[in-house]
Amino acid sequence: MRILIKNGYAVDDEKELKTDILIENGVIAEVGNIDAGAEKVIDAEGMIVMPAFAEIHAHQGDTPDKLSLSALSGGYTKVALLPDSNPPIDSEMGIRYIRDKYRCLPIKVCPIGSISKGLKGEELSEMGRMKSSGAVAFSDVSGIKDLMFVDRALRYSRDMRTALMFKPDDCGGLMNEGYYSTVYGLAGIPPEMEEILLVNLSILSKRHGVHAHIMDISTKGAVEALRQARDNGIKLTSDVTPYHLILDESELASYDTNLKINPPLRNREDIRALKDAVRGGLIDAISSDHTPRPKEAKCVEFSKADFGISGIETVFSLVVTYLLGDGTIGFKDMARLMSTRPLQVIGLNPVRIEKGNQADLVIADPEREYVLESMHSEDNNPFVGKRLRGMVMYTISSGEVAWERGMSNDNAETSRKYR
């Protein structure tokens, strides 16, 4: 199918230009002033055209159809899926199961294998075999429980040239430790724990010369530890969620369980440090940390509610509304943070708007405002009911229009038509 995108403002991490784009046989056939005919013509006047987004880590919890719809409506065509299922993805068979389960979707689901068997942090999993079967990274979806175990894991990963991903632990707490945790009567999660994780990983990563990745960085101290590691040539990468760049701990006055996330919302000083790190390129990616949870896991008292936000379909709007709006980043930065670098971190080739490249593109209206009324995934998102700016209009996956705003494919049949 030939698709012609007319009058769009094309942006990737290297360039910005107003141009037409012709897509044929799954690839970008031409970029420039194009008069060729096509089966589908999209008038992108006033819209931006970017490489489709890549989610560097999403938690399990959605059905394949829900994950596909959520991702496509947010402009994503690639999703790296964490191994936190029951049972965990800790074997070659588990990786093959994930690949087969999501194979027929219009998005590409990239499995992340576990570092340890059963996510217990005791015995190394079959990382070599999982890598051969398609695992793009490894994670126990936690921090460091045992330094010697993590040391062995990093040493073992050296020849695979694959990132090991670590997430700060909740330490048994519910929100950021400090003034507000005392006022609200909620157990605190010390920010220093995240800094300790960064320092330990820096030392171990340097010791073995391997790539470690920090998910959901959230504190000023962690940013400083990351900066020191980078200055010393240590291969340590990181990502941040939009929530940690937008919301602070005082929001928990409402005891809204949709704001209960790990790591927790921090203070305004942490937000300033994170924004500076994003603006300066120290932080590699913006991640939704997509964590779909059913109502029964959130409609309970705060201490018993699950952590997490179902957020993959709102990241673009949040970035446009809050981070482009205040000048933290521009569209080229967005392409770098949401497409180029996430793919590079998990060892995949980035997509740029150039002739011959795979046609994975998102077309969005950065000025369109809307009220977020519901989600394709679960509704555990604190921005439901809020007015946002920036709307994904089309998502093109492998040269096909996989999702179009307002059309009949905006339902559960979107993914099934690819089977």
Q: Across residues 1-13, what is the average pLDDT?
A: 96
Question: Which of 227-236 are b and which e, b meaning 16 or more Cβ less than 10 Å from the residue's Cβ?
Answer: bebbeeebeb
- Confirm whether 175 is domain-assigned: yes
Amino acid 26: pLDDT: 95
pLDDT value at 414 more than 50: no
Q: What pTM was computed for the model?
A: 0.95
164 shares a domain with 38: no
Assigned domain for 351 exists: no
Q: Are residues 312 and 406 in the same domain?
A: no
Residue 225 confidence class, pLDDT cut points 50, 70, 90:
very high
CA–CA distances in Å: residue 260 to residues 187, 269, 329:
12, 20, 26
Q: Which of 335, 247, 309 is nearest to 50 (CA)?
A: 335
Q: Do 260 and 328 have their domain in common?
A: yes
Encode pLDDT of 95-111 as tens digits: 999 999 999 999 999 99
276 in any annotated domain: yes
Q: What is the pLDDT of residues 260-270, one digit of tens each?
A: 999 999 999 99
Q: Is residue 350 part of a domain?
A: no
Quick one: average pLDDT of 177-187? 97
Q: What is the CATH number of the domain that holds 378?
A: 2.30.40.10
Asked if pLDDT for residue 211 goes beyond 70, the answer is yes
As for how many domains the chain has, the answer is 2
Q: 62 with 38, same domain? A: no
Confidence of residue 408 (pLDDT cuts 50, 70, 90): low
Output the pLDDT for position 412: 38
Instruction: Give me the helix-helix angle, 220-231 and 268-279, nearest 10°.
Output: 30
Summarize the confidence of residues 60-87 as an average pLDDT: 97
CA atoms 153, 145, 188, 298: torsion sign: positive
3-state SS assignment for residue 350: coil
CA distance 248 to 232: 31
Same domain? For 105 and 128 the reply is yes
Q: Are 416 and 65 in contact (CB under 8 A)?
A: yes
| Cα–Cα nearest to 292, from 279, 278, 307, 280 | 307
**36 and 80 within one domain:** no
Report pLDDT digits (tens) over 127-157.
999 999 999 999 999 999 899 999 999 999 9
Specify whether 20 is located in the same domain as 103.
Answer: no
**Residue 416, pLDDT score:** 33
Q: What's the rounded Cα separation, in Å, for the pair 235 and 210?
A: 7
| Pair 172, 297 in one domain | yes
Dihedral over Cα of 331, 333, 334, 338: its sign: positive
Instruction: Identify the domain boundary among 345, 371, 401.
Output: 345
Residues 6+ apart with CB under 8 A from 270: 191, 218, 219, 220, 244, 248
Asked, for residue 73, whether it belongs to a domain, the answer is yes
Q: Which of 349, 371, 213 is nearest to 287 (CA)?
A: 213
Q: For residue 1, what pLDDT is reported?
A: 87
To the nearest 10 degrees (0 to 180), the angle between helices 192-208 and 220-231 is 20
Tokens found for residue 44: 């992108």
Q: Is the pLDDT of residue 282 over 50?
A: yes
- 289 belongs to the catalytic site: yes
In a domain, 113, yes or no: yes
- Whether the bond between 263 and the residue before it is cis, its omega within 30 degrees of 0, is yes
Q: Same domain, yes or no, for 254 and 371?
A: no
Q: Are residues 65 and 21 in the same domain?
A: no
pLDDT tens per residue, range 229-259: 999 999 999 999 999 999 999 999 999 999 9
How does the average pLDDT of the chain come out, rounded?
Answer: 95
* pLDDT computed for residue 411 by the predictor: 44
Q: Encoding tokens for residue 321?
A: 């509304």
Residue 164 has pLDDT above 50, yes or no: yes
Which tokens hold the place of 4?
Answer: 């012609």
**Beta-carbon contacts of residue 131 (< 8 Å; ≥ 6 apart):** 113, 160, 162
- Whether pLDDT at 202 is above 90: yes
22 DSSP 8-state letter: E
Last residue of a domain, one of 315, 345, 375: 345
Q: Express each pLDDT in 337-375 by its tens digit.
A: 999 999 999 999 999 999 999 999 999 999 999 999 999
With respect to residue 339, please indicate whether it lies within any of the assigned structural domains.
Answer: yes
Catalytic residue among 12, 62, 140, 289: 289
Residue 84: how many CB atoms within 10 A of its CB? 19
Residues 298 and 401 in one domain: no
Kindly state whether residues 151 and 104 are assigned to the same domain.
Answer: yes
CATH number at residue 72: 3.20.20.140
- Which of 323, 345, 367 lies at the terminal end of a domain, its last residue? 345
In a domain, 354, yes or no: no
Q: Percentage of the chain with pLDDT > 90?
A: 93
The range of the structural domain enclosing residue 250 comes to 52-345
Q: What is the pLDDT of residue 419?
A: 27
